[in-house]
Every structure is written in structure tokens, then in C-alpha cells.
Amino acid sequence: MERKPFKTEPFHAPDRGEHNPWQRFLERAESALSPTASEAAADLVSQIEAARAALDAAESSD
């Protein structure tokens, strides 16, 4: 059987850290909201926290 040529490209592990940028967007959004005290802002913070927890869980199960 013919052997495949040795790969010279750098190895990438695309799955690890895939969610990090999304975490950053959410973190920035959350910090922009924190100083405000409205009920809508509190609702958004709660939604952001739920999304971040789901991304954390997905990242650790990859």
C-alpha cells in the first residue's frame, strides 16, 4: 500500500478554544451592561450568563 507523504503543514486543533471568541464577545457585552441598573439590563446579563455557561460546558466536553 502506498504511504501518504509526510505532512509539513503545522498541526492545528481547530476544535479546542473554538468557543473562546464567543466568550469574549459575551464578556465585553456583560461588562458594558454592568453599570446600568435597569430590569432589561439584568435580563440581558442573565441571558449572557446562560450562554457563557453553555459554551463552557461545550468547551470542556470537546
* Least spacing, CB of residue 38 vs other proteins, in Å: 8
Residue closer to other proteins (CB basis): 10 or 14? 14
- Name the residue with cell 466568550: 23
Interatomic CA distance for residues 6 and 38, integer angstroms: 59
42 is a site residue for other proteins (CB under 8 A): no
Q: Which long-range contacts (CB under 8 A, 24 or more apart) does 6-12 make?
A: none
> How far is residue 22 CA from its own chain's centroid?
4
Residue choice 7, 13, 29, 34 for contact with other proteins (CB under 8 A): 29
Where does this chain bind other proteins (CB under 8 A)?
14, 18-22, 24-26, 28-29, 32-33, 39-41, 43-44, 46-48, 50-51, 54-55, 57-58
